[in-house]
Each structure stands twice: as structure tokens, then as C-alpha cells.
Amino acid sequence: MGYTTGLVCRACGKEYPEAPNYVCEDCFGPLEVLYDYERISQEVSPQRISSGPKSMWRYEALLPLQGEPKAGQQAGYTPLIHARRLGEALGLSRLYIKNDTVNVPSLSFKDRVVSVAVSKALEFGFDTVACASTGNLANSLASQAASAGLRSFIFIPDNLEEAKVVGTLVYDSQVVAVKGNYDDVNRLCSEVASIYPWAFVNINLRPYYSEGSKTFAFEIAEQLGWESPDHIVIPVAGCSLLTKIWKGFKELERLGWIKRNSAMLYAAQASGCSPVSTAIKNGWDTIRPVKPNTIAKSLAIGNPADGYFGLQAVKETGGYGEDVSDKEILEGILLLARTEGIFAETAGGVVVAVTRKLVQQGRIGRDHLTVLAITGNGLKTQEILVGKTPQPLKISASLEDFTDQIEKTERRQQYGCAG
């Protein structure tokens, strides 16, 4: 089983054997998994994948496990929807939504990476898993650790949305709320990881964990009939998803499973935390970290670890980066809900609002095949919408009251005045 051949430093190319190791001892560059692509192309094909399980594990050959998946067996293979009504609102005729708001088990794209990480933790023989998280990773790891019978320690900033905290605690995970922002939590975790012999999914298991994100790209390609779209708009926090979507399409092209990789990648951020889009707009080749201040807490990473590679990905594919205000994020969430019936969390609002900007700038054309990466469920960040939606019509349980009130409401809507 397995097509991996070891680890390699993404910065200097030094190779390492497969182990819970994440950093190059020569240059501190991040390690990533190496595959035997020749053997994959001989033994695996799109036809074989099409008859595989209806989950991300249909792409098992391009994931770094030695044996069968031991966690998240149902994760992935989420719907790709032709979003006609949202497309009309944005001026796009070929707009698609990759809908990870309905991913399982925890309603975000993080179920993909955690499925790989927890399976890998079990392969390596760990009994405890841990992570630093802005919420979605926390939910997914707590859930999958519970079902795998592993102990979990979850480190979060102390200002997260209530639903994301409860949605972690419910699995009996040890949650550690750290005073500070995600970048403080991340630094602390790195120090904790150097003392405790745990599987930190986004530290010592990072090379494996992050590979799960490639399935987002694989599914888009397969669901489009083994083609690459023209544009993909991707929410950016640590920049891992964008970087791995890039890698995923390159792998498909290398294996000859898509004819041509033409996907231009766009980094979507909140203006209150936009180190990546700012670097892209200014043509910088390094990231200048920022202190996050935005309602898009899932994206509130001021010092994105994969930012350096994300900038390369955007540049190489001819994409761009944009950011939007908190007000635009809320409008994006509401527009997506009202046109497509999809309730996304703040990151989804960021993607919709950024897409609107990219269309206005002429970067995305009306007939271009465009995919929006909608990565998390709105039920987790409901509190930001309190007072921003219409209110319920409160009536007594009488038909007369209902018809009376509803007529008044309709008149108000029709004439735009009280009446």
C-alpha cells in the first residue's frame, strides 16, 4: 500500500525518511511528502478513481497513508454546484461553488486534512493528538479524535465564536483557550510540541495533514469532467489550502489526468487581516505579518506559514489577491444564502465579496469557468448575523392577525414605507 517515497524540503530539496518530522534541519524549510508518480500513473487512472468510494479516499493514491484510512472515512466528495443565481448577481455565467459547508464530520474543509492527520497519527502509534486552531480545525480534530479513541488537546485563541468552542468541547477534548491571537497560540504550540510527545496535526504531522487539502482540487477537476477551471477563489488564512490546490492541479497535469492546468488562483482575505493579498497587490515576495482585526476569525492568521509559497502559486498561475471589509463579508454571506441557499461562515462571505471585486476589476470575465471555495458552515458563526437579518413577524395564533400583518409587510415592501 501507499505510493509515498519519503519527505523532501520544499525550500532546499533535502530528502528525509518518512517520520513525524516537519522541518528541514538545514534551512528550517517545511517538509512535504514525495510520491512515486511513475508507479501511480501505471497503476491508477481516472476510470479507476471514478469507481472508488464516494469520499476523498477515492484519491488515496495521492494521499500519504501506508494502509487503509483509519479516520474520516466519509470526509470529502462534497457537491460542486452550478451557481446560476449567484452567477447572475455577480455577472458570471459559469460560476460553480465547491460546497464544503456540508463536509463531514464537522462541516468544514478541515475534515479533509484531519482525516489524513488522524489516520497518520494512528499509523505512527500516537495516543494523543493536538492542534492550534481558529475553530474549524478544532471542531474536526476533536470529533475525529473522539471517534478514533484518541486523547486530544486543542489550543484556540480566547476570543473564538461560541459555536466553535462548544463544537469542540462536546467531544470531551481538552480545550486550551490562550489569551492572544492565533499567531500567539501557534507560537505557544510550537514550544509545547518541543516538550510533549504528541501528534500536533499542524506541526509535526503537517507534511501529511496538509496533503488532505489536495482532494479539494481533485474533486473540482473530476466533477468538471477531469478539467481545470479558469479561476478558483480561495479563502486564505495560513495559505495552506491555496498552496495545496496548486499542488493538486499540478499533480493531475503531471499524471495526464487533466489535459492542461489552467487554473488561476486568487487569495481572498478580510481587510482586517490581509498579509497575503497585501503582498500580492504590492508585488512583494515575502509576507509582512499583521495583527488581525476582523469578524472572519477563521481567517485571522497574521503570520501565514505557507504565505511564501502562496505568493509563488498566485504569481505562477497568473491569479491575484483581494480583501474585503467586515461589512462586505456580511453582504457576501447574505448574498450566497439568498441566491443559492447555502449558509456559509465568514470565510465564505469573504470569497463571495472578493469575487465581486475581481469581476468589477475585469480579472474574471463573464464566460470564464470560475469556482468559489466555500469552506465552512454558517451555523458556526451565526452570532455575527444577529441584528443583520430581517426580524421574524411576531403575531398571535390567529388567521386574522396573520393576514393583517402579512398585508402590512407586503405593502411596506412594495411601497418602501410604513403603512
Nearer to another protein, 156 or 265 (CB): 156
Q: Give whichever of 179 and 260 is closer to another protein, judged by the CB atom.
A: 179
Q: In angstroms, what CA-CA distances link 209 with 29, 43, 78, 100, 231?
A: 16, 24, 19, 17, 25
| CB 109 to another protein: min, Å | 9
* Nearest CB to another protein, comparing residues 215 and 370: 215
Closer of 242 and 255 to another protein (Cβ): 242
Stated as kind and residue range, the H or E segment containing 29 is none
Report, in Å, the least distance between residue 169 CB and another protein. Answer: 19
What stretch of H or E contains 377? none
Task: Give the span between the Cα atoms of 312 and 243, in whole angstroms.
Answer: 9
Residues that bind another protein (CB under 8 A): 11, 22-30, 110, 113, 131-134, 136-137, 182-184, 186-187, 189-191, 194-195, 202-203, 206, 209-210, 237-238, 240, 286, 288-289, 291, 298, 301, 303-306, 308
**Amino acid identity of 176?**
V
Cα separation of the two ends of the chain? 71
Q: In this complex, which beta carbon is closest to another protein, that of residue 51 or of residue 282?
A: 282
Distance of CA 189 to the CA centre of its chain: 21
Query: Which one, 238 or 378, has the nearer CB to another protein?
Result: 238
Q: Are 7 and 32 in contact (CB under 8 A)?
A: yes
Q: How far is the CB of 43 from another protein (least distance, A)?
A: 30
Q: Is 249 helix (H, G, I), strand (E, B) or coil?
A: helix
- Give the C-alpha separation, 248 to 231, whole Å: 15
Amino acid residing at 91 = G
The full DSSP string for 72-100 is -TT-----EEE-HHHHHHHT-SSEEEEEG
Least distance (Å) from another protein to the CB of residue 373? 14
Q: What torsion, rounded to 10 degrees, do the Cα atoms 403, 404, 410, 415 define?
A: 160
Smallest distance, another protein to C-beta of residue 186, A: 6
Instruction: State the minimum distance, in angstroms, from the CB of residue 369 to another protein.
Output: 27
Shorter beta-carbon distance to another protein: residue 184 or 331 = 184
Of 359, 366, 116, 109, which is closest to residue 234 (Cα–Cα)? 109
Cα separation of 125 and 395, whole Å? 59
Q: Is 148 left (phi over 0), alpha (psi -120 to 50) or beta?
A: alpha
Which of 328, 370, 326, 110 lies closest to 230, judged by CA?
A: 370
> From the CB of 267, what's the least distance to another protein, in Å?
15
Smallest separation, CB 239 to another protein (Å): 9
In the complex, minimum distance from the CB of residue 32 to another protein, in angstroms, rounded to a whole number: 11
Cell of 288: 509582512
